[in-house]
Amino acid sequence: MFPVFPQPLLYTYSFSSYLFSSSPDKFIAPVGLAVNVEVLNTRPTTTKVQSYEAELETDINQWTPIKRLPMTEPHDIFFVEGDSLKSCVKLDFKPHIFDMVASQKNLSPGESLDGWMFFEWPPELHENKKLCNVKVRLKNSQGEMVETVINVLSNDEPGESSLNEGSFGPTDSKTKTVDLSSLLIRPFSNE
């Protein structure tokens, strides 16, 4: 179904119907990367996360920026079962959606926040390149930037990822499936 996208997760979004009167007002975009990040305020004063961005490093040592899928107003995330949009399961990440938590929380010294970030897979990585690292860069309310690199090839340490080897999806076989086949697949980065 999605030969050019590496993940079976879908992000739903919509536009005001007056902008696209001849088009459906709800779309789905493949999620290329979902990552759970924890941020700790090491400053001596209160701060707030203002923005974040990420890049991917492939096995050819090339860094590529990836488009953030905004979740300040939560969008639905679905897991595609098999290769058909007729059998999708809605996943609930609330209340642990990074955008929502960060927009509502001032971090006192030593305080942390965590949540899921969602990104779209960039077109230049649609070829089967192996993902090696994810770099997440955050900016706080004082204008300071901090970044961390997550190694996705190694599972040696607790908390490290196995994005290239792992699987993700619902485990409850009684979960009701949803048919998304009537929605248009449209990468969010086109907007």
Please tell me the predicted confidence (pLDDT) of residue 133.
92
Closest Cα partner for 143 from 27, 43, 36?
Answer: 43
Is residue 54 a contact partner of residue 68, using CB atoms and an 8 Å limit? yes
> 14 falls in which pLDDT band (50, 70, 90)?
confident
Please tell me the predicted confidence (pLDDT) of residue 51.
95
Q: Where are the beta strands (DSSP E) in 33-144?
A: 33-40, 49-58, 63-68, 77-80, 88-91, 112-120, 131-140
pTM, entire model: 0.80
The pLDDT of residue 21 is above 70:
no
Return all residues near 128 (Cβ < 8 A) that are at least 6 apart. Answer: none
